[in-house]
Structure 1
Amino acid sequence: MKKLTVIAFILFIGIITSNAQVRVSPGIRGGLNVSTLTNIDDNKSKTDFYIGGLVNIKFNKYFSLQPEITYSRQGDQGREYLGNGFNYRYVNYELNYLTLGAVAKFNIGGKGFHILGGPSVDLKISDNYINSNPEDFDLAFVGGVGYTLPNGLTFEARIKQGLIDIYGYDGINNDNNGYYYNDVILNQVFQIGISYTFKVK
């Protein structure tokens, strides 16, 4: 009984100590989006921006969890054919999302360099598609690397890969009307930017 009491007491002290080390810091983030849509012939990437807020929950010098809310302007550049059917120009196709996500950050050696990864739910705010209606939401996975300075300024590069076809196709062959939906069309974004976390006493 005494042994169980001692073990329980040690665990209790450990939990309290662990919780005492947790630091919560709000912050802001923003940067450059280079976005495209996969499996579309002759499209180009589109350059735009993202901006948002974050809360960095630092458990120890090696690991933190960072919930984020971000306005992300995505899409691609696609061909728009002119009246003769031969000439064309590239126009920006907009897919703008409110992104709710959380990334786990692992600080290498407990220092400034870190790797990160995590999921996000993207809710479509607007688009400029005329002849089609993209899905209202997307699920994505984010991965990347970064470096945080002692003053809270962070530089990061991320890749964001959408997981849901923007037109709702599931990648299963379907020969209704002579079409085959083998290649789903997914959001794909390269992000480079900065963030800043405020020190809370």
Structure 2
Amino acid sequence: MKKILLFIAVVALTCTTAQAQEVRLGAKLGLNVASLGGDSYGVGSLGSRTSFHIGALAEIPLKGKFALQPELLYSSEGSDWSWGLGDNALKLDYIRVPVLAKFYIIEGLSAEAGPVFGVLVNASDDSDVDIKDLYKSFDAAIGIGATYRLNMGVFFSLRYNKGLLDVNDVDDYSGSNQSNVFQVSAGYSF
């Protein structure tokens, strides 16, 4: 996992150095609507958790209408669920590293897709009890979305991250749950 993140950082820095005059750096902030897909926890139903993400990005032009966009984000995810006597929230906070290929459809509007890697930094429930040992420390997803960037550098993005790996790390649990997140973002790049 650490090797993958180090490799991504080296590639991003190499590309940045090679084409420094054209690279756009930026920051973004947005809304997450997250849930756990897959098998439910048995009794009850899983719902969406609304939270946020914040981070930085670099857009590296490649050839023609293509670009590479690595990001470093703090993303608060998880799920809400109801069972028995009440509702509960599962808070899974990740450091996410999306590495997206971008294609510009028209000036300012791009479609993007690529892998989204994540390292779990916090896991808790409504009572803020640390339950990090019940979840895997590494996660991977595939992200797909679109961004519109205005000439002044302000941009707006929509993205869906579909989890690929089971986030559970519980012995004798036969279910499988993936972290799925819909993101709406705004940011600035220069």
Classify the TM-score, shorter chain: 0.7 to 0.9
Paired with 1:20 and 1:186, the residues of 2 have a C-alpha distance of 37
Which runs of 5 or more structure 1 residues have no equivalent in the other structure? Answer: 1-18, 82-87, 170-175
Higher share in strand: 2
Q: Which amino acid aligns with 1:106?
A: F
Q: TM-score if structure 1 supplies the norm length? A: 0.74
Q: 5+ unaligned residues in a row in structure 2: which ranges?
A: 1-17
TM-score normalised by L of structure 2: 0.78
Aligned length: 164
* Partners of 2:101 and 2:112 within 8 A in 1: yes
1:151 matches 2:148: no
In structure 2, the partner of 1:10 is none
Match of 1:66 in 2: 69
CA deviation after TM superposition for structure 1 residue 184, in Å: 2.0
C-alpha change, 1:61 and 1:95, in structure 2 (3 Å) is same
Q: Cα–Cα, structure 1 residues 61 and 30, in superposed 2: closer, same or farther, change >3 Å?
A: farther
Q: Which residue of 2 aligns with 1:189?
A: 181
C-alpha distance in 2 between matches for 1:22 and 1:59: 13
CA apart distance, 1:153: 1.2
Answer yes or no: is the 8 Å Cα contact 1:23–1:59 preserved in 2: no
Query: Does the CA-based 8 Å contact 1:97-1:122 persist in structure 2?
Result: yes
Give identity over the alignment, percent.
30
Judge which range, 120-129 or 48-57, deviates more: 120-129
Counterpart in the other structure of 1:106: 103
2:42 is the counterpart of 1:50 = no
Which has the higher Rg, Structure 1 or Structure 2?
1
2:33 aligned residue: 34
Q: Deviations over 1:117-155 (max 9, x none)?
A: 011210000001567711111011100112111111111
Displacement after TM superposition at 1:80 (Å) = 5.0
Stretches of 4+ moved more than 3 A in 1? Answer: 19-22, 129-132
